[in-house]
Each structure stands twice: as C-alpha cells, then as structure tokens.
Structure 1
Amino acid sequence: MELSTILIFIGIICMILSFFLKDTSKKMEQDFEEFTISIYQETNSIKKRLKIVEEELLLEPNFTVKSPISTKKSQEAYKQAALAKTNSKPVQNKQINEILVAQVIQLNKQGYPIDEISKMSTLTKDQILDILQNGGNR
C-alpha cells in the first residue's frame, strides 16, 4: 500500500471514532460557566457582608444626621466654643463623650482639683461638677 492510502484510511478511522467519543469541550465550557457564576455570587455576598461590617463599625450608637446650620448660627457656635476654651463663658453640651466622663471620674479619684480637671478635659467646671454629682450617669 501506498503512504497516501494509509493516511486516508487512518483519517477515516479517526473521523468515525470522533462521532462515538464524548465531547469534553462542552462539559468544560459548562463547568467554567458554573464556576464563574459561583465566584460572582460569592463576591457579591462578601461585598454585602463587608458593607454591613463597615456600617456597624463606623456608626456610633447615638448617631444622628444633623441638618445644615446657617452661617450665622455656625459663627455663634464658633464664638461660643472659643470662649469656652478660655473659660470666660461656659458652654453646656447636651452630650458629653463617655471617654471624657471616665477621664473626669478617674482624675477626681486621683485627687486632682476641679480647675485642673477642667483644663485637662476641656469641660467647664459646671459640667465636671454635674458629672461628679451624678457619678457618670446621665
């Protein structure tokens, strides 16, 4: 036999065998699509969880959104804060940070006078007395 007839015969056998063998490319394609969909779903769920965690960490328990203050009111607040720093006019804050309350109580237990506690904590004497009288409770 000639070489060309042998090659034709082998080619025909390969074509016949290809009809009976399973097509693995379709299976691989389907597996790849399922894999990309699952990766996409997992990524989205991780993003949602991360967003929830970030919101929990960034928001304080008493978080409120304040409305914009007019420029006149903000200037008055700035002047009042400046006067409070020089202790010439007391400013009453409705909420005092819990850390400052703990600091005031600790400094009082250590024997510091109210004047020095006021300078260290940036609170007025009245606020410090109020904290000490209430024992840190509001």
Structure 2
Amino acid sequence: MEILLMGLLGFSILLFFLSFFQKDRYAAIEKEVEDLSMTILQENYQMKKRLRVLEEELMMDSEPSIKRSASVKKPIHEVVRNQVIALYQQGIPLEQIAKQSALTKSDVQHIISTL
C-alpha cells in the first residue's frame, strides 16, 4: 500500500513539473485576438478621422448655399410623396404622417392637396 502511495505521489510530482514545460495552447489565440482588437481600433479611429474631415468639407461647401437658399424649400422626393399619399389613403392622421415621413404638417397637407 505504501508503494502505491509513493508511486502516485511521484507520478503527481512528475506531472506537476511537466505542466511547467508544456506549451500554452491559448497564448497564441490570445495574441491573435489582441492583435485583431488593436487592428479594429486603429481602423475605427482612422475611419472616424476621415469622416470628420469629410463632414468638415461638406459643411464648408454647403454654407454659401444655405445662406442663398434659406427661403427656398428643397423638393420632396417622389418616394416620400408616394409614402405620404399611401398613408393618407390608409386613414392615418396628418400629424402621424408628418412624423413618419420627417416632413412638416404643411408639406403633408400640400402633397395631399395635389391629389
């Protein structure tokens, strides 16, 4: 019985020391995930930077036209016009149609009056 216990103790000590020399399987995966995470963060930062520059360019280009056409309304797209008509024919109130189509109530009334 003592020999069996000594053998098991020796075997457990041997396995314990072997565990220090065994290659960590998850270290490579952790490294890949960390690299992927850093790459995504860098790409996200660059994309936000480009978007900011693009927005600034658009704001600079559109400022003169805003001053010129402050009183001129933008034309309503045909798809939005058809949506307003379809909603009106379904019996939906004008306020709800205006909210769904992102138009003013007067724009919705104008579209409906052209039927």
TM over 0.5: no
Larger radius of gyration: 1
Which structure has the highest helix share of the two? Answer: 2
Q: TM-score if structure 2 supplies the norm length?
A: 0.40
